[in-house]
Structure 1
Amino acid sequence: MRQINFMPSFFSHCYHIIIIFFSLVPKKSLGAVDPYFQACSVPKTCGDGQAIRFPFYIQDKQNYSCGYPGFNLSCNNNGHPTILISNINYTIHEIFYQNETVRVSNSAFSNPNSSCIPSINSISLPGSRFDLAPNQTNLFLFYNCNSSVHESWPSEFYPSCYGENDAVLVLSGQDPKLISNVSMECKYSVLAPVEAYGGGIAESLRNGFVLKWKASNCSICEDSGGNCGFDDIMYHFKCFCPDRPYAWSCTNTTRLEYLPGNNKRVLVIALGQGGYGGVYKGKLQDGCFVAVKVLKESKGNGEEFLNEVASISRTSHVNIVTLMGFCYEESKRALIYEFMPNGSLEKFIYKENPSNADRQLGWETLYKITVGIARGLEYLHRGCNTRILHFDIKPHNILLDENFCPKISDFGLAKICPREESVISMLGARGTAGYIAPEVICRNFGGVSHKSDVYSYGMMVLEMVGGRKNIDVSVDRVSEIYFPHWIYKRIELDEELGLQGLISKEDEEIAKKMIIVSLWCIQTDPSSRPSISKVVDMLEGSLDSLQISPKPFLSSPPRTTVDSSTATMSL
């Protein structure tokens, strides 16, 4: 097929496309401890008791991936950390990680036993990495002044470390014009900020001043149980989690830092359409194919976009689609995913679509897809000390790679919550009609939790088994309109399943196992549903060990048409 190379106006105006290449690093088995997490777990010290952690790192004691560029420290002979700012060495006295501030002083003032003022040429006020914190006092140090100045301010001169003849004039808060006139009578002057002025000039200079650093915020990563770090290859912040490598955690995309030189352009070579906007096949400069999902400009205030970036970027799993990058400029928003050549699951399971005649999947493939989706959900529900609840599990949001390995996608309705919270607070219903758990719509059925995803999963698996929507008004008999009701009776009475494509005993066992497990998943009472980890165990266990669930529904739904692909309820 000939590729059509063009760049829509959207992409020509969307310059900051960040590419996050998780594929550049080796994937590790789920549960393996990430070596970067281990390397950054134990804070180091120079000997003065201060714990050195992100964004700082001691260059001779810590892996540079545990810190941030430009925040490398050294240890001086007194056991204190020092940092180089504009070629001036500063001693670090205190690091306030919660406030993202640090108190430093010029290392020339560091001698605790000295009451004299050394001769320095510069303080070098903060540059690109630091800002001077507010409410500091500025001192003006004047060196080698002539005799007339000595006579004008005799009480303001302080002893120099190089002899009485080199006394230093120290002024604070003086008139700028007066300061200018004095500087003309002295050989050179230095502006020296101090945090507090009153305990003596030498002591004030030794105590130094406070800087606020500029680096990616670490609190979200740390709150999720990870350790902050930096990827020097792609030049952006990383959150290393204990059970997976190279995770990234940030809910505010505007806080991400990147270099313009690392931006990638996506060459769009095909057109498509999704529920939230256009979906395009794209090609990166290195030839890698990607899927580009462009959100509609009129779609709210970007909540779905921020939600998706915040949740999916925490993940790294074979059954979760990989977010490779994003674009966010004003109302223009795009998400860049790994390309899935087989598209979404819904194209392969609904037999009423004539175009699907040659796309029907075998029962063994359906079973592997079912297990893969369950493992992906298990990963989301048992993540880095947080749970990610998807709230929109359906065939349309399951993508298939070239080997029909399933990958969960579309995290626009996802919710991140602490693992210890069994029930979460939610103001309204979210999800797609036909897959929404009863408690999400009406709290009388129970609390909203990870069991709500289990319900949606069960409804989806039943559609995979039946090859049809669970509610199908096109069938001849009223008893067959609601597939879960119909198939439950078959299982309960041990009747022939009457499903398409069952050509062997193995196929029938697979189908029965998928049916029994999914019927447990769609129990009306959330407490009666298994966890997704239990679902994996049930699917991979023997059929003989499975018990038939209680009747999982209150009654059959009315004979009405429901379009589960478009009837979406969300916050």
Structure 2
Amino acid sequence: MVIIIFHFFLIYSAAAVGLAPPSTYLDGCQPMSCKRGAPSVRFPFQLKGRQNESCGSPGFNLSCNNKNQTVLELPKSVKLLVKRIDYVKQMIQVYAEDGCVQRQLPNLTLSSSPFEFMSDYYSFDSTYKNFSLFKCAGEGWSHYGSYYTIGCLSREPGSYVKYTSSDYPNTDLFHCSRTMDLREVPEGLISDESNNLYFNWSRPECGDCEARHQGCRRNDTKPSGFECFVIPIKHMGTRTKLMISGISIGSFFLALSLSVVLYMHHLHKKEKDAQGKIEQFLEDYKALKPSRYSYADIKRITFDFKEKLGQGGYGTVFKGTLSNDVSVAVKLLNNFKGNGEEFINEVSSMGRIHHVNVTRLVGFCADGYHRALVYEYLPNESLEKFIFGDKGENHFLGWEKLHEIALGIAKGIEYLHQGCEQRILHFDIKPHNILLDQHFNPKISDFGLAKLCSKEQSAVSMTAARGTMGYIAPEVLSRNFGNVSYKSDVYSFGMMLLEMVGGRKNIDVKVEHMSQVYFPEWVYNRLDKGEALGMSIENEEHDKIAKKLTIVGLWCIQWYPVDRPSMKSVVQMLEGEVEHLTVPPNPFASKEEMRAKLPINRELPTISE
């Protein structure tokens, strides 16, 4: 605010000072100009009609034309427009209005003026010669011998104008006729085609006065004819001083008042913006929290369950559309299954999750016996479709995309374990529960078996095994392998990762050799021996990706939870280079070998559900 006040004070003070009488010359010859931005006219120049003749030196005549352009008048009747006057270097820059100064050369007698022609801003041209102009038939050229063409005078079709020094014999001028003779013309002036001319004057020598920021005026009593003088400032009267002081003080308080108003407006706008942000946040938060729908709403959203997407033991999934044309997937739960635990798990878990790799729960329905869950719609269905070929169909996504999907799933699980207020254990990580959006970005779904626990605790108690066979961690089936914890999700992720690499179920009785029935054990043996993994690999980069996914998957399916990495470590391994990974211990060794590697205490603290 202080800066604003100071800024306005300077502005109004400057305005007030501007009302004071300007610096004046004692003889009344104040500098003048034809218009704003035009060169300032002062001694030795004199502006006709606006200054007295005594204000200038003889021959330094300037005037204003009907366009208020400054005009330099040279003998005899030559008029050039003034572009700039340098009083310190005593130089004036001029140009012809029609762009052809040579057209006025017949009227120029530069020797009768106080000016000397300069070939450029720094160089004098003291060479004065006599020239003859010739009008010649045919097309013009730049020069021939000592004969030169004047471009701006050679615009008549079929002819051109040449000039030549009178000191040279007039030969080779066939088809030409003499038009005029010029006397005492600077050679550079007749040949200049730039229309940007410079003239210099040597007397009166006012350059030193100007350099000292003093005035220069005519004084016929002096031998030089001029004198330097200090430009006085006219003293203001008491009334003028009071007027200027009043204006300054009034301007200051006006600026102060305006600053206060602006500052208050700024505070009000800032407060209004803050309130708007709060309102927007509350609106966004309301949109992010799951909405509750009635059964009639569910029927309307699904158009009376018109388009069926899938069916399972949990219920049936239908496609629906919200009022804002957003597609959703509606899972209608079976009324006869369970006691509502799956429904409660889904709503309580997914209602607090907002992550790019987790399916968003848009809303739910709990209307009498009708229960339904409304999710965002993901058009590419589940990962299962793309890693398990059905009836010879090939939906392989490519190794780069498989790696992206694996990394996205790992980040989603890491978020469930560490990113929420309470740790969420999914307990059913498998390809069928990984959905893909339109860009094949993975999203974890189906939290019907999920459990919540504190992030400070490492294990949960369970009365019965939960999950899908083939993905259930050993400790979920038998406590001999340790307590159930978030490491159970790591095991399920590892089994799914190996399925992504192998393109088939982990247990497949349809293979030709019995040794390949349990794929994880088969792939570990080949990896340990440095043999090919038996998959379609096109190049070295694809081989590195397959090897990386295999090693990470084998680390994740270690039998004992404490031997498995956390999901944070899994993400780091997937983002790193395969050369930095080590092959894990064989998870399929005999029970005695595994016990020999166990530390004395592998127990984890247990919490109730």
TM score, norm. by length of structure 1? 0.52
SS of the aligned residue for 2:379 comes to coil
1:336 aligns with 2:407: no
Q: Which amino acid aligns with 1:340?
A: L
Change (3 A) 1:302 1:423: same
Once the two structures are superposed, residues 429-456 of structure 1 have per-residue CA deviations (whole angstroms, 9 ceiling, x without a partner) of 1100000000011111001111000000
Match of 1:549 in 2: 584
What is the rounded CA distance, in whole Å, between the counterparts of 1:423 and 1:551 in structure 2?
25
Cα deviation for residue 385 of structure 1 reads: 2.9
Q: Aligned ranges for residues 216-255 of structure 1 at < 5 Å?
A: 231-232=282-283, 236=286
SS of the aligned residue for 2:320 comes to strand
Change (3 A) 1:401 1:548: same
Which residue of 494, 501, 515 corresponds with 1:458? 494
Match of 2:387 in 1: 349
Q: Which amino acid aligns with 1:343?
A: E
Cα deviation for residue 233 of structure 1 reads: 6.9
Match of 2:535 in 1: 499
Which residue of 430, 433, 451 corresponds with 1:415? 451
Cα deviation for residue 552 of structure 1 reads: 1.2
Say how many residue pairs are matched: 319
What is the rounded CA distance, in whole Å, between the counterparts of 2:294 and 2:520 in structure 1?
53
What is the rounded CA distance, in whole Å, between the counterparts of 2:292 and 2:387 in structure 1?
43
Match of 2:432 in 1: 396
What is the rounded CA distance, in whole Å, between the counterparts of 2:560 and 2:411 in structure 1?
23
SS of the aligned residue for 1:403 comes to coil
Match of 2:563 in 1: 528
Cα deviation for residue 356 of structure 1 reads: 2.8
SS of the aligned residue for 1:494 comes to coil
Match of 1:540 in 2: 575
Aligned 8 A contact 2:294 2:365 in 1: no
1:509 aligns with 2:538: no
Which residue of 489, 509, 518 corresponds with 1:482? 518
Gaps of 5+ in 2: 1-270, 592-608
Which residue of 337, 343, 347 corresponds with 1:309? 347
Match of 1:110 in 2: none
Q: Which amino acid aligns with 1:361?
A: L
Aligned 8 A contact 1:348 1:356 in 2: no
What is the rounded CA distance, in whole Å, between the counterparts of 1:535 and 1:403 in structure 2?
23
Aligned 8 A contact 1:524 1:554 in 2: no
Change (3 A) 1:66 1:262: farther
Match of 1:293 in 2: 331
Q: Aligned ranges for residues 99-248 of structure 1 at < 5 Å?
A: 231-232=282-283, 236=286
TM score, norm. by length of structure 2? 0.49
Q: Which protein is richer in helix relative to its size?
A: 2
What is the rounded CA distance, in whole Å, between the counterparts of 1:477 and 1:371 in structure 2?
32
What is the rounded CA distance, in whole Å, between the counterparts of 1:263 and 1:491 in structure 2?
51
Q: Aligned ranges for residues 420-431 of structure 1 at < 5 Å?
A: 420-431=456-467
Q: Which amino acid aligns with 1:349?
A: I
Once the two structures are superposed, residues 356-388 of structure 1 have per-residue CA deviations (whole angstroms, 9 ceiling, x without a partner) of 32x122111111110000000010001233110
Cα deviation for residue 257 of structure 1 reads: 8.2
Q: Which amino acid aligns with 2:478?
A: C
Q: Which amino acid aligns with 1:290?
A: V
Aligned 8 A contact 1:342 1:401 in 2: yes
What is the rounded CA distance, in whole Å, between the counterparts of 1:327 and 1:258 in structure 2?
5
What is the rounded CA distance, in whole Å, between the counterparts of 1:555 and 1:267 in structure 2?
53
Cα deviation for residue 62 of structure 1 reads: 9.4
Match of 1:469 in 2: 505
* Worse-matched range after superposition: 511-520 or 320-329: 320-329
What is the rounded CA distance, in whole Å, between the counterparts of 1:233 and 1:371 in structure 2?
28
Cα deviation for residue 399 of structure 1 reads: 0.1
1:270 aligns with 2:323: no
Cα deviation for residue 275 of structure 1 reads: 3.2
Aligned 8 A contact 1:247 1:316 in 2: no
What is the rounded CA distance, in whole Å, between the counterparts of 1:298 and 1:264 in structure 2?
20
Match of 1:387 in 2: 423
Match of 1:198 in 2: none
Aligned 8 A contact 2:434 2:444 in 1: yes
Gaps of 5+ in 1: 1-58, 68-228, 239-245, 249-255, 557-570
What is the rounded CA distance, in whole Å, between the counterparts of 2:455 and 2:509 in structure 1?
40
Aligned 8 A contact 2:292 2:364 in 1: no
Aligned 8 A contact 1:347 1:356 in 2: no
Change (3 A) 1:470 1:262: closer
Q: Which amino acid aligns with 1:294?
A: L
Match of 1:435 in 2: 471
Change (3 A) 1:508 1:260: closer
What is the rounded CA distance, in whole Å, between the counterparts of 2:503 and 2:273 in structure 1?
59
What is the rounded CA distance, in whole Å, between the counterparts of 1:545 and 1:385 in structure 2?
33
Cα deviation for residue 258 of structure 1 reads: 9.2
Q: Which amino acid aligns with 1:464?
A: M
Q: Which amino acid aligns with 1:541?
A: G
Rg larger in 1 or in 2?
A: 2
What is the rounded CA distance, in whole Å, between the counterparts of 2:427 and 2:384 in structure 1?
17
Change (3 A) 1:394 1:60: same
